[in-house]
Amino acid sequence: MQEKDKIVYIKEQHLESMLIHMEEVIRVDVNIAFAAPSNDKSINPSSVSIFIKYFPEINLEIYQSQIKNLIYDAISGIDYSQIRILMQPNNFQFTPKNIAEADN
């Protein structure tokens, strides 16, 4: 079981690494879940959850189906309907220091 956990962790890290390289992405978390072991010893993942936080300058929502396809192709045995993506635009507004000082 420990070997499978390592492989899943590496797969999650690899997917996070690919997704974080998308333009305007701040943070990515990927979780691959497996159902409790059954008698048929199936080891296919039961679901995948992806959290993406991004700068709102680019609407990443339009890429959701492409992201799902990427995950579907990367994880063998996953049902496409069990891939969930939560995309959250960042609300942080950066004010450069020199502009903030000019206002004073």
Burial of 98 (0-12, 13-18, 19+ CB in 10 A): exposed
Tokens 């609300």 locate to 91
65-94, pLDDT tens digit by residue?
999 999 999 998 899 999 999 999 998 666
Q: Is the torsion defined by CA of 62, 64, 65, 67 positive or negative?
A: positive
The number of residues in the chain equals 104
Output DSSP code: residue 8: H
- What is the reported pLDDT for 102? 56
- What is the reported pLDDT for 41? 62
| Prediction pTM value | 0.77
- What is the reported pLDDT for 19? 94
34-57, pLDDT tens digit by residue?
877 666 666 778 899 999 999 988
